[in-house]
Amino acid sequence: MEKATFAGGCFWCMVKPFDQWDGIEKVTSGYMGGHIENPTYEDVKRGDSGHVEVVEIIFDTEKFSYEQLLEIYWMQIDPTDAGGQFQDRGESYKTVIYTHSEAQATQAQQSKENLAASGRFKKPIVTDITAAQTFWPAEDYHQDYYKKEEAHYKEDRAQSGRDEFITGHWE
């Protein structure tokens, strides 16, 4: 088993795209990168804790590769937006690939360079790549939100503009 951690804006929208594949053992919503211990959702949303919303993915490398995770990740975000993601604005919603090894760091950097060279986006790719820090799981009510609060999840996602962006750039 290996671990991957991605920040892509609202963590509610980042669970489902990873959660549906054979070889993905667990996807947990949480926080990373800040300067306080045990942050709450309110701490992070306020924007002064230094944390970003992330998903931590435990995956079986025999069934699913880190490269495949990176491909899915890029297709969920606007990698050119340094100010947040879609309707969620501010530092706590920026895009970051947190790496757990040198191999992950190398693969992440190469995938970022490949995306930039592809010409798919007119603006520069601004997603950060940095070493993973302490992961703080989010409160229980945030876990598997797309399953627990399906109607609210769908409404929030529809309002965000994420799906239109994805369709416009990837389909």
Catalytic residue positions, numbered: 10
Task: Determine whether 20 is exposed, middle or buried from the number of CB atoms within 10 Å of its CB (0-12, 13-18, 19+).
Answer: exposed
Question: Which amino acid type is present at position 146?
Answer: Y
Rounded Cα gap, residues 110 and 121, in angstroms: 16
Q: Six-digit token pair at 161?
A: 């503009």
CB 57 within 8 Å of CB 91: no
Rounded Cα gap, residues 65 and 84, in angstroms: 27
